């Protein structure tokens, strides 16, 4: 049972968020409000109030982050407007470059050039536009697009699809379901409202990432936070590998899962403060990929250690992940790590988009027998009989639950465990592991496409976009790692939504993309600036 400390830290987390937003840059404060809660707050304490969804650490952190960004929103928007684009003209090696993403801090560039102070984004776009009304109107949208807190276009369409799916689920599940000698209740309007409210709360990190972290600054903040989060977790994991998973018991007074599942290979699988060791493993995989991405993003002209430290960190975290005895996360790390380490930007995006496409189509492929399960089973048997048995158990349960889900394929069985399998005594005999089967069973294809569409569509759309920053490409690979783990495990958490939202924020509206193409076709440069604008050099004072 959770102790007093477990409840106290949940109550105090909004104060931690206040401190973060008052002392840190807004992107960093937003990311650490979500990530810090996920990594260090207890998973079991939940506050149940009448007529509202259950409030756990994810909801508390999401609401605290939302309040924080709403408070600093005006100042944040002002910084974005004043910063504007920065042009670069040739300069000597070692000159100081002021970037719009450096927040008034000089960045040392090896031999690129010095930055030129320009007008705000909208004004600059208008001044460099090609002659004619068409070029002028296109250029007015060439800056960073202004976004409301609530999105439009495809994001809103998927959210609306999810809401329609919830209504359909409620309307098609108005009858009780027998479960042995008992009956599970029919879904009522109250259940629909509760599910919609819960889904809305879980999507807050996605909207915050979409609105405020869709820039290279925000995406780099996520990569940096994931890497440092892995560094903070590494010694805690090593303690539990050696002494058994006890940190949560020592600090919060309870163990969040089955202890037997964390005894593996004559040792222990660490759990730290998350709900299961599998959650720890996939987060470490994301931390390793983030470290490799930061190694690729760090300029080569800086001090050698500034770049090498990320590669060293990735190696250390990989060793810790190997000691955690989780084969699936290790294989995901190796497969995507090679792409992040050696692949170009376009290759990284194509791989991430391919993973997203496979994940969103997985239920169809699984039902049609197109997934090579026998090959995967043979691979598991070659590693360990225990792993092969665990994998076979998962497959058997997936087959049962998928057959059950196909009985109500469009809208699913809803809540109250109505879609599970029960024996004649009313005991549940089916086990749900992967997020995909949980969503398919409960909310059908409509709910699945809406929820997984928000996670997968950004990666697929970004692959077809001409202008993709390296930060967006590498963050998409990190999200792809989590998407791969959603097939065997239910590791869909607030940090997943936050990172996916930041990737979605990189997708340019068609008008903005066309305007940038028009800006590139502007008249030849004069005096160092496109369109004939005189350059104003900025040097050290």
pTM for this prediction: 0.83
For residues 393-411, give the mean pLDDT: 90
For residues 472-483, give the mean pLDDT: 97
| Distance from the Cα of residue 478 to its chain's centroid | 8
Cα–Cα dist 415/110, whole Å: 58
Asked if pLDDT for residue 514 goes beyond 70, the answer is: no
Residue 164 buriedness (CB in 10 A; 0-12 / 13-18 / 19+): middle
- Binning pLDDT at 50, 70 and 90, where does residue 120 land? very low
Cα–Cα dist 62/13, whole Å: 11
For residues 124-142, give the mean pLDDT: 39
47: which DSSP letter?
Answer: B
SS3 460: helix
What tokens appear for 311 in the block?
């590669």
Closest CA to 80 of 179, 217, 247: 217
331 vs 305, residue with greater confidence: 331
* pLDDT for the residue numbered 139: 39
Q: How much of the chain is in helix, strand and coil states, percent to nearest 5?
A: 60, 5, 35
| Phi, then psi, of 526 in degrees rounded to 5 | -140, 130
Asked if pLDDT for residue 32 goes beyond 90, the answer is: yes
Asked if pLDDT for residue 268 goes beyond 80, the answer is: yes
Contact 139, 129 (CB under 8 A): yes
Contact 459, 360 (CB under 8 A): no
Contact 81, 73 (CB under 8 A): no
Torsion angle of the four alpha carbons 133, 135, 136, 141, in this order, in degrees rounded to the nearest 10: 130
In this predicted structure, which of 132-141, 486-495, 506-515 has the lowest mean pLDDT? 132-141
Closest CA to 403 of 374, 366, 371: 366
- Binning pLDDT at 50, 70 and 90, where does residue 368 land? confident
Cα–Cα dist 347/233, whole Å: 30
Q: b/e per residue, 11-27, with b = 16+ CB within 10 A?
A: eebbebbbebbeeebbb
* pLDDT for the residue numbered 257: 84
Asked if pLDDT for residue 534 goes beyond 50, the answer is: no
Helix axes 26-40, 204-212, angle to 10 degrees: 150
* pLDDT for the residue numbered 532: 42
* pLDDT for the residue numbered 101: 37
Contact 459, 466 (CB under 8 A): no
**How far from 324 is each of 3, 183, 239, 276, 390, CA to CA, in Å?**
27, 42, 11, 12, 17
Sign of CA dihedral 70, 74, 80, 81: positive
- Binning pLDDT at 50, 70 and 90, where does residue 53 land? confident
pLDDT digits (tens, 9 = 90+) for 192-245: 888 888 889 999 999 999 999 999 999 999 999 999 999 999 999 999 999 999
Cα–Cα dist 537/541, whole Å: 12
Cα–Cα dist 404/421, whole Å: 8
502 vs 49, residue with greater confidence: 502
Contact 345, 473 (CB under 8 A): yes
Asked if pLDDT for residue 96 goes beyond 60, the answer is: no
Unique residue bearing structure tokens 């000597």: 92
Closest CA to 489 of 340, 327, 375: 327
Asked if pLDDT for residue 76 goes beyond 50, the answer is: yes
Distance spanning both ends of the chain, measured CA to CA: 60
């Amino acid at each position: 049972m959770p102790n007093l400390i477990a409840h106290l830290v949940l109550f105090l987390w909004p104060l931690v968020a206040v401190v973060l937003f008052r002392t840190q840059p807004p992107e960093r404060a937003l990311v650490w409000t979500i990530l810090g809660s996920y990594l260090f707050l207890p998973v079991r304490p939940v506050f149940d109030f009448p007529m509202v969804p259950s409030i756990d650490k994810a909801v508390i952190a999401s609401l605290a982050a939302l309040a924080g960004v709403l408070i600093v929103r005006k100042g944040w928007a002002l910084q974005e407007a004043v910063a504007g684009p920065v042009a670069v003209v040739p300069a000597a090696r070692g000159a100081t470059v002021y970037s719009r993403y450096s927040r008034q801090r000089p960045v040392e560039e090896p031999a690129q050039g010095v930055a030129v102070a320009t007008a705000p984004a909208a004004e600059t776009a208008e001044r460099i536009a090609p002659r004619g009304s068409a070029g002028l109107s296109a250029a007015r949208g060439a800056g960073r697009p202004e976004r409301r807190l609530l999105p439009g276009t495809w994001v809103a369409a998927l959210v609306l699809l999810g809401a329609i799916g919830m209504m359909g689920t409620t309307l098609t599940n108005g009858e009780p379901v027998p479960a042995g000698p008992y009956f599970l209740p029919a879904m009522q309007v109250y259940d629909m409202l509760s599910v919609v409210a819960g889904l809305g709360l879980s999507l807050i990190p996605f909207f915050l990432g979409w609105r405020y972290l869709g820039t290279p600054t925000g995406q780099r903040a996520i990569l940096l936070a994931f890497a440092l989060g892995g560094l903070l977790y590494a010694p805690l994991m090593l303690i539990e590998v050696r002494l058994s998973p006890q940190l949560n018991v020592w600090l919060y007074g309870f163990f969040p899962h089955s202890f037997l599942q964390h005894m593996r290979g004559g040792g222990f699988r660490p759990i730290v403060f998350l709900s299961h060791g599998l959650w720890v493993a996939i987060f470490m995989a994301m931390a390793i990929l983030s470290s490799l991405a930061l190694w690729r993003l760090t300029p080569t002209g800086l001090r050698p250690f500034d770049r090498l430290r990320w590669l060293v960190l990735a190696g250390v975290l990989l060793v810790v992940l190997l000691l955690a005895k989780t084969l699936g996360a290790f294989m995901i790390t190796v497969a995507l790590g090679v792409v992040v380490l050696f692949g170009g930007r376009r290759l990284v995006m194509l791989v991430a988009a391919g993973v997203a496409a496979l994940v969103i189509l997985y239920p169809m492929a699984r039902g049609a027998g197109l997934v090579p399960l026998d090959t995967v089973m043979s691979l598991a048997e070659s590693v360990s009989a225990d792993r092969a048995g665990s994998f076979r158990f998962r497959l058997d349960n997936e087959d049962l639950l998928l057959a059950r889900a196909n009985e109500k394929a469009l809208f699913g069985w809803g809540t109250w465990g109505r879609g599970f399998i029960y024996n004649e005594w009313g005991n549940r005999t089916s086990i749900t592991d992967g997020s995909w089967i949980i969503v398919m069973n409960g909310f059908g294809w409509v709910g699945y496409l809406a929820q997984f569409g928000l996670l997968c569509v950004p990666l697929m759309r970004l692959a077809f976009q001409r202008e993709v920053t390296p930060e967006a490409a590498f963050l998409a690979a990190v999200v792809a790692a989590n998407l791969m783990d959603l097939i065997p495990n239910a590791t869909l958490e607030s940090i997943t939504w936050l990172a996916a939202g930041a990737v979605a924020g990189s997708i340019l509206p068609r008008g903005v993309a066309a305007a940038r193409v028009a800006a590139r076709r502007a008249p030849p440069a004069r005096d160092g600036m496109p369109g004939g604008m005189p350059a104003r050099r900025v040097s050290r004072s």
